[in-house]
Amino acid sequence: MRTTAELTRLELKLFIRDPMTVLFSLALPVIVLLILGGVFGNEPGELDTGGPVYRGVGAMDYYVPAYVALVVVSVCLISVPAHLAGNRERGVLRRYHASSITAWQVAMAELGVAIVISAVSVVVLLVTATIVYDFVGPWSIPIVLLGFVTSTLAFSTLGVLLGAVLPTARSAQALGMLLWFVMLFLGGAGPPPEVLTDAMRAISTATPMWHAVRVMQHGWLELDPDGSWLILLAIVAIGAPLAVRAFRWE
């Protein structure tokens, strides 16, 4: 526990010292918010066929909780794997290993860093959104917080899994980016789900991000989460032991 806390503190300090990573983590969701918000406004939409878009709520009401999920996904899939793989490549993990730090402790420290950075990034996002747009406040703050933590758990599990198996920082970054892009467009924080083709929708619902968006919209907008909570928890339950088993120190 003490080791995990010390390692988290250290990794957090080091993260903050890397200006590009910090800028990226904080600016990216804000940029997405301003661009997509500018495009879609906050009117509830209607399809040509007559059905509602944005699950029947205003565009901004739909997107704000979705962007909270996007923040988590960005931090966990872009920063975490590249950071882990980079530490492996340079021999930092070997150094940790020799000092009896375990794979669980490394994974927990990555989770800790992801939670703190995501939380700060979410605050920046919400402050910007509040200044620029009108949107409804959260329906249930506890459920929103729970959704945030559950999503971060699930995505940092995926991030550690990627970082655990990919050999180099470059490959980890490339794959993380690729997944992030797919999820940006199909995960529910890009085009509203109602305008996607059936094939796209099938991919959408298969992306973990879709479920993070649903969970956040559950707490924020009181929309039906279906099985999304369970799916995120399953990712943690199955992914975490897998990531720790697959973890390579060099």
Partner 1 sequence: MATRVGPRVALDVRHLRKCYGSVVAVEDVSFGVRQGEIFGILGPNGSGKTTTVECLQGLRRADAGEIDVLGLDPRTEAGRLRQRIGAQLQESALPDRIKVWEALHFFSSLAPGGPDWRDVMERWDLGGLRNRAFSTLSGGQQQRLLVALAVVNGPELVFLDEMTTGLDPSSRRVVWQLVRDLRDQGTTVVMVTHFMDEAEHLCDRIAVIHGGRVAALGTTAELIAEFAGRSEVTFSTDLADIDFVRHVDGVATVEQDGTRVIVRGTGPVLARVAAALVAHGDAPIDLEIRRGSLEDAFLAITGDGSAT
87 touches partner 1 (CB under 8 A):
yes
Q: Which residues lie below 8 Å from residue 41, measured CB to CB, with a gap of 6+?
A: 59, 60
100 touches partner 1 (CB under 8 A):
yes
Report the residue from 38, 41, 91, 137 that binds partner 1 according to the rule CB under 8 A.
91
Alpha-carbon separation of residue 86 from 46, 90, 100, 166, 167 (angstroms): 46, 6, 20, 10, 9
Identify any residues that bridge with 42 across adjacent strands, giving them in sequence order.
none
C-beta closer to partner 1: residue 18 or 226:
18
| Token reading at 248 | 């390579």
175 touches partner 1 (CB under 8 A):
no
C-beta closer to partner 1: residue 55 or 97:
97
90 touches partner 1 (CB under 8 A):
yes
Asked if 212 contacts 73 with a C-beta cutoff of 8 angstroms, the reply is yes
47 touches partner 1 (CB under 8 A):
no
Alpha-carbon separation of residue 16 from 28, 42, 117, 148 (angstroms): 16, 34, 9, 21
- Options 94-102, 112-120, 151-159, 166-174: segment touching partner 1 (CB under 8 A): 94-102
115 touches partner 1 (CB under 8 A):
no
102 touches partner 1 (CB under 8 A):
yes
The CB-of-63 to partner 1 minimum distance in angstroms stands at 35
C-beta closer to partner 1: residue 182 or 246:
246
C-beta closer to partner 1: residue 94 or 170:
94
Please report, as residue ranges, which positions from 9 to 38 form the binding site for partner 1 (by CB under 8 A).
10, 13-14, 17-18
Please report, as residue ranges, which positions from 140 to 169 form the binding site for partner 1 (by CB under 8 A).
none
- Options 95-103, 201-209, 222-230, 238-246: segment touching partner 1 (CB under 8 A): 95-103
C-beta closer to partner 1: residue 100 or 197:
100
Interface with partner 1 by CB under 8 A: which residues? 2-3, 6-7, 10, 13-14, 17-18, 87, 90-92, 94-95, 97-102, 249
